[in-house]
Amino acid sequence: MEPLLSVRGIVKRFGGLIAVNDVDLDVYPGEVVALLGDNGAGKSTLIKVISGVHKPEAGKIYFEGKEVKMETPMDALKIGIETIYQDLALAENLNVYSNIFLGREKTKDYLGFIKVLDHDFMLRESEKVLKKLDIKIPSLKNKIKTLSGGQRQAVAISKSIYWNAKLLIMDEPTAALGVAEQKKVLNLIRTLKDQGVAVILISHQMYDVFQVADRIVVMRRGEKVGELDAKKTNPDEVVSLMVGAELVAS
Amino acid sequence: MDERLIEKNNPLIFLGRYWTFIFLISEFIIFSIIGTGYFSIRNFQNMLVASTIILLLATGETFVIITGGIDLSVGFVMGFMCVVFSKILMAFFKAGMAQEWALLISVIFTLFIGLLPGLLNGYLVARWKVPPFIATFGMYGIAYGLAEIVSNNVPIAGLPQLAGQIGNGYFMYWLPGKVLAWFARPHLPRAQLRHLIYLIPNIFLISIVFVIVFAFILSKTKFGQHTYAIGGNIDAAIRAGINVKKHLMKVYMISSFFATLGGITYSLRFVTGRADAGSANMLDSIVAVVIGGASLYGGKGTIWGTFIGTLIITVLETGMVNLGLPTYNKYIVVGIVLIFAVLMDQFFPEIVHKGE
């Protein structure tokens, strides 16, 4: 199978600091890749390159077999790379379906020449996508601020999926959640995987990673130091790669 | 569970949402009972006239406050445009142009010039990240100073008669069973004139058309939705691809457009141009918006709420005058209502987003 995303030799510098140094990464459709590393290992910088926030100094990005050059995050969104940051980027004062359609609202004609918001359409479509992902939220007319952290995460994911995300990058999706909610989000990641969506997961929670990831990529000081099959490794091995094997050995 | 049902069935939440309306009605009933001639068509008309300018300023202000900003310049932009309008009108009139044309052209010119303060406010806020409080406070001073310069420190008097006729006229004049006239007062004997009923002041009627159009834009269109989104989470709005800078500039221009309408209205009503025309209205307009349920943190508010807020202030003001109480009492009550409004908002947050 051909990888959905192929990253080759990415280098990103900030002044004298080399944040990402010559990193390769492949992600296949329907695969969950966990990106691990200590603080400052370069995980965030790498995903920001993939999502069009940073331009790399060197290296190439291939998406669906074609080389892509992304100038802005909008370019990444257009080809189907969606990123969900920790803050989720939801407008808390708007309801669920308005957030799913934010910036891309559906309108209909009113009196033939005025365009008004088509609430019914947006509500129906949002219900469909939530159903597809098996997400339960009391009413899609409720404001985001009435939802729990896990429900908000689910809304953010639904939004990406509705707009045809093929690759979903999630930054610490379970960090701010309670245990029950964490499980729901992990289940949701499995649902995405079953539907053929590729996921890059950044997490500090080793438990989460082993629950859902197929492959684990470990970064340290800007370099990729290991790529492991999640079924054939264990947390100790991953941690020793993260902090540097020599430290563990001594 | 459906949250909307809970809202409908919980009396406290019902009260939390509709208290302004209940307050307005009670206020009105109380003044009608203890005042003299308060409950009369003539007094209703007076209230509509008195509410017009606050309503105009507050409508524009609602847009700005929903984005999480504030426009302190509306009062003096109104005064500035009042002077500009009067000057242009006088110039055309003195040049021998017919009243109707002079009026029409000056209105159009002034409306265009009136967009400039908003454009500058919006540019400073959106492009250079100047806090709205500072940008518009700067404009507050600039507009006032320019207005005084343009008017040479004296009110501009001697506007054409037609201005006053429009500004003080009514949409309908009705003598039950005898006469029904539109726009112009019919010629009647003095005895009959006393019984003539005046319906809907022109300035209120014209203003309410603009208010309704913008209420529609705010509640039904993409533009309105984006206004709420920017106030709710500006980063989310940016990441959703909304052109936030451009949008904010438009919002501040809407505010100064309404301030300009206020200035023109003042000129027509009092047949003068004054630099300090709107100085007393800026605070009232912000108060009306906040009583109407908007939050200064942004993200919420409606034109309908602002309309109720405006009426609460006007009913109070006219009621106090009617009872012969000094108007400073109004400030006390309005102050209390304002604080109460913010408390109610915190105790009874909305569950359902109203934009539907």
Residue B353 has pLDDT above 70, yes or no: no
Residue B351 lies in a domain: no
Q: Which chain B positions have a beta carbon within 8 Å of A95's beta carbon?
A: 352-353, 355-356
What mean pLDDT comes out for the span A12-33?
93
A95 to B222: CB separation less than 8 angstroms, yes or no: no
Q: Chain A: residue nearest B222 by CA? A: A117
In a domain, B221, yes or no: yes
CATH number of A5-89+165-249: 3.40.50.300
pLDDT tens-place string over residues B244-302: 999 999 999 999 999 999 999 999 999 999 999 998 899 999 999 999 999 999 999 99
The percentage of chain B sitting over the pLDDT mark of 70, rounded to a whole number, equals: 95
B181 in a structural domain: yes
d(CA A99, CA A122): 10
pLDDT digits (tens, 9 = 90+) for A186-203: 999 999 999 999 999 998
| CB-based contact B256:B114 (threshold 8 Å) | yes
Question: What number is the ipTM of this complex?
Answer: 0.86
Nearest residue to B77 via CA among B19, B119, B123? B119
SS3 letters for chain B?
CCHHHHHHHCHHHHHHHHHHHHHHHHHHHHHHHHCCCCCCHHHHHHHHHHHHHHHHHHHHHHHHHHCCCCCCCHHHHHHHHHHHHHHHHHHHHHCCCCHHHHHHHHHHHHHHHCHHHHHHHHHHHHCCCCCHHHHHHHHHHHHHHHHHHHHCCCCECCCCHHHHHHHHCEEEEEECCCEEEECCCCCCCHHHHCCCEEEEEHHHHHHHHHHHHHHHHHHHCHHHHHHHHHHHCHHHHHHCCCCHHHHHHHHHHHHHHHHHHHHHHHHHHHCCECCCCCCCHHHHHHHHHHHCCCCCCCCCCCHHHHHHHHHHHHHHHHHHHHCCCCCHHHHHHHHHHHHHHHHHHHHCCCCECCCC
Query: Which of A189-203, B64-78, B184-198, B304-318 is predicted with the least confidence, judged by mean pLDDT?
Result: B184-198
CB-facing half-sphere around the CA of B103: CA atoms within 13 A:
17
Q: What pLDDT is attached to residue B42?
A: 87
Instruction: Report helix, strand or coil for A127.
Output: helix
Q: Please report which confidence band the pLDDT of residue B351 belongs to, taking 50, 70 and 90 as the band edges.
A: low
Which pLDDT value is given to residue A250? 44
Chain pair A-B, CB pairs under 8 angstroms: 96
Confirm whether B79 is domain-assigned.
yes
Give residue for tokens 């329907």: A30
Least confident stretch, B71-75, B155-159, B174-178: B174-178
Give the best residue of B13, B233, B238 to mutate against chain A (max A CB count within 10 A).
Answer: B233
Partners of B236 on chain A (C-beta within 8 Å) are 89-91, 99, 102
> How many degrees, rounded to 5, is the angle at CA B306 between CA B301 and CA B308?
125
State residue B151 phi and psi, 5-degree precision: -95, 0
Neighboring chain A residues of B3 at a CB cutoff of 8 Å: 138-139, 141-142, 146
Nearest CA in chain B to A51: B239
Residue A133: CA atoms inside 13 Å, Cβ hemisphere, count? 30
pLDDT higher than 50, residue B355: no
pLDDT at B2 over 60: no
Average pLDDT for residues B25-30, to the nearest whole number?
94
B152 pLDDT higher than 90: yes
Residue B335, burial from CB neighbour count under 10 angstroms (0-12, 13-18, 19+): exposed
Mean pLDDT of B215-228: 97
* pLDDT > 70: percent of chain A: 98
Partners of B231 on chain A (C-beta within 8 Å) are 93
Specify the pTM: 0.90
* Average pLDDT of span B184-196: 82
Model confidence band, residue B354 (pLDDT cutoffs 50, 70, 90)? very low
Gap between the Cα atoms of B26 and A136, Å rounded: 43
Provide the pLDDT for residue B226.
97
Averaged pLDDT, A133-144: 90
Per-residue confidence band for B356, with pLDDT thresholds at 50, 70 and 90: very low
DSSP A232: G
pLDDT of res. B6:
56
**Mutation target vs A (from B225, B230, B346, B354; most A CBs, 10 A cutoff):** B225
Give the model's pLDDT for residue B285. 95
Structural domain boundaries, residue B300:
55-280+295-304
Treating both helix axes as pointing N-terminal to C-terminal, what angle do B244-270 and B99-113 enclose, rounded to 10 degrees?
150
**Residue among B105, B108, B80 at smallest CA distance from B90:** B105
Q: Report the pLDDT value the prediction gives residue A249, as an integer from 0 to 100.
A: 47
CB-based contact, A111 to chain B, within 8 Å: no
Other beta carbons less than 10 A from residue B320's beta carbon? 18
Average model confidence (pLDDT) for chain A?
Answer: 90
List the domain boundaries for chain A: 5-89+165-249
Question: Which conformational region is residue A186 in: left (phi greater than 0), alpha (psi within -120 to 50 degrees), or beta?
Answer: alpha
Q: pLDDT tier at B8 (50, 70, 90 boundaries)?
A: low
In DSSP terms, which residues pair with A11 in a beta bridge? A58
Question: How many folded domains does chain B comprise?
Answer: 1
With CA atoms as reference, the chain B residue closest to A117 would be: B221
Spatial separation of the C-alpha atoms in residues A112 and A234, rounded to whole Å: 63
